Amino acid sequence: GLADRLQNTMQKIRGKGKVNEADVKEMMREVRLALLEADVNFKVVKEFVKKVSDRAVGQEVLKSLTPGQQVIKVVKEELTNLMGGEESKIAVSNRPPTVIMMVGLQGAGKTTTTGKLANLLRKKYNRNPMLVAADIYRPAAIKQLETLGKQLNMPVFSLGDQVSPVEIAKQAIAKAKEDHNDYVLIDTAGRLHVDEALMGELKDIKELSNPNEIFLVVDAMTGQDAVNVAQSFNEQLGLTGVVLTKLDGDTRGGAALSIRSVTNTPIKFVGLGEKLDALESFHPERMASRILGMGDVLTLIEKAQSNIDEEKAREIEQKMKSNSFTLDDFLDSLGQVRNMGPLEDLLKMMPGANKMKGLNNLQIDEKQISHVEAIIQSMTKEEKIHPEIITSNRRKRIAKGSGTSVPEVNRLLKQFEDMKKMMKQMSGMQQKAKKKGKKK
């Protein structure tokens, strides 16, 4: 999928110390193919690639310490722009009730989302919605909506399953006017596939109820199928927004990008669970991260760049590469890391960090730092370079010399090993993220 393609491309450049224009070109070719394969509109792809290329060959990338990561940052920012735009506002009719039609395939989450949206309208906008049971085909559909209505303590309009959905919608709107319900949410029927009968009925409801919003509910797990579904519904009905459900599941959310590009319809909300409060406004930036499969790596990069002395970082990186990172360097880098804030917080931002062993030992306490300093200063030059030679006798000597204890010396040596592991991890972060993606 899109995410994997981009991931692969990123990986190629991520390890590079320097990026030249040819590298950027090669990368953009990959990005372009990946987006085209993902059914993204050709014009959108062209524009996207141009924007990213312009920025990627610019100073901000080529001159930076970590050009590969900078390119990823640019791609992410532009992905965000592509999905961005207006905030997830909901229409308000100046002649209430405001009518919202919920459409989509069977099982996408229409009924659930109808309840969630009603809940949100009341909680966030202080509205007084009515739910309308217009799915007369599935035996349990009416009951399901009524149950949600009870949970929410909201009116559910139903005329059973013998009256046509168009008639139900018509009478529901009249009733809402009477009862001063300012929003009418019509839960319509779905089918397993887009078909003419379904579209015909939805068009009839649309014509009669003149909705202010038509929200397509799509299951994010269905990936590229969701794009085709969105396209059909948009062509036939003219959508005003998309709700992407089941993002709490194992999906990368690549569909979001394509849906937005292909149908030019904003994604307004995302469903993040089965409960009635599990509906959130759509955040393009979070989705871009998700598509790239990056966790909060970018925040991490930004933090690191603003706090770590570039010269020093280069030095440390070089030492790590040549395997000459010593305990003296460790002491140095401790200071650097300390500037970045609590190490635990940083670790949380790394994809896969929670699965890494040994990181629990990395909590660094301010008081410990002076001990660490003393311990390292009590080591011989050789011990600092090759800590593996530090036998238990030497540990005793070091503890005594530094006025600490053997367990403290042990802990430090363990921390040093973990730190080395972590640094390896940070440079190999991409591989980790990729592995994680594959498992899913």
Annotated binding site: 104-111, 187-191, 245-248
Please identify, using beta-carbon distances, which residue of 243 and 288 lies nearer to Mg ion. Answer: 243
Q: Which stretch binds ligand GDP (CB under 6 A): 252-260, 272-280, 314-322, 376-384?
A: 272-280
Interface residues for Mg ion in 110-149 (CB under 5 A)? 110-111, 141
Q: Are strands 267-271 and 279-281 parallel, antiparallel or unpaired?
A: antiparallel
Q: Are strands 213-219 and 156-157 parallel, antiparallel or unpaired?
A: unpaired
Q: Residue 282 and residue 117: Cα distance in Å, rounded?
A: 13
Q: How many residues bind ligand GDP, per CB under 6 A?
A: 19
- Which of 13, 29, 31, 14 lies closest to 75, judged by CA? 31
Please identify, using beta-carbon distances, which residue of 40 and 134 lies nearer to ligand GDP. Answer: 134
- Which of 241, 217, 285, 216 lies closest to 78, judged by CA? 285
Cα 297 to chain centroid distance, Å, stands at: 11
Closest approach, Cβ 119 to ligand GDP, in A, equals: 13
Tokens of 349: 């931002």
* Contact residues for 160 (Cβ-Cβ < 8 A; gap 6+): 136, 142
248 binds ligand GDP (CB under 6 A): yes
Q: Which stretch binds ligand GDP (CB under 6 A): 72-80, 173-181, 243-251, 432-440?
A: 243-251
Please identify, using beta-carbon distances, which residue of 67 and 254 lies nearer to ligand GDP. Answer: 254
Residue 403 phi, psi dihedral angles, 5° rounding: 70, 30
Interface residues for Mg ion in 35-94 (CB under 5 A)? none
Q: Tell me the binding residues for GTP.
A: 104-111, 187-191, 245-248
Label residue 59 exposed, middle or buried (CB < 10 Å: 0-12, 13-18, 19+): exposed
Residues in the chain: 440
Tokens of 192: 């397993």
Interface residues for ligand GDP in 187-216 (CB under 6 A)? 190
Q: Residue 271 and residue 273: Cα distance in Å, rounded?
A: 6
Please identify, using beta-carbon distances, which residue of 141 and 176 lies nearer to Mg ion. Answer: 141
Interface residues for ligand GDP in 94-153 (CB under 6 A)? 104, 106-112
SS3 of 323, please?
coil
Please identify, using beta-carbon distances, which residue of 112 and 240 lies nearer to ligand GDP. Answer: 112
Closest approach, Cβ 106 to ligand GDP, in A, equals: 5
Tokens of 84: 């961005």
The binder of ligand GDP chosen from 32, 246, 260, 268 (CB under 6 A): 246
Closest approach, Cβ 112 to ligand GDP, in A, equals: 3
- Which of 205, 215, 271 lies closest to 239, judged by CA? 215
- The CA distances from residue 438 to 3, 274, 427, in Å, are 11, 26, 19
User: Are the beta carbons of 212 and 239 closer than 8 angstroms?
Assistant: no
Please identify, using beta-carbon distances, which residue of 125 and 137 lies nearer to Mg ion. Answer: 137
Kind plus residue range of the DSSP H or E element containing 186: strand 183-188
Q: State the residue number with the nearest CB to ligand GDP.
A: 271
165 binds ligand GDP (CB under 6 A): no
Please identify, using beta-carbon distances, which residue of 160 and 381 lies nearer to Mg ion. Answer: 160
Closest approach, Cβ 247 to ligand GDP, in A, equals: 7
Closest approach, Cβ 135 to Mg ion, in A, equals: 5
Closest approach, Cβ 249 to ligand GDP, in A, equals: 6
Closest approach, Cβ 338 to ligand GDP, in A, equals: 41
Interface residues for ligand GDP in 364-423 (CB under 6 A)? none
Tokens of 360: 């629990």
225 binds ligand GDP (CB under 6 A): no
Q: Residue 359 and residue 354: Cα distance in Å, rounded?
A: 8
- Which of ligand GDP, Mg ion, none is residue 245 near (CB under 5 to 8 Å by kind)? ligand GDP
Q: Which stretch binds ligand GDP (CB under 6 A): 53-61, 169-177, 270-278, 291-299?
A: 270-278
DSSP, residue by residue, 213-230: EEEEEEEGGGTHHHHHHH
Binding site for Mg ion (CB under 5 A): 110-111, 141
Binding site for ligand GDP (CB under 6 A): 104, 106-112, 190, 217, 245-246, 248-249, 271-274, 278
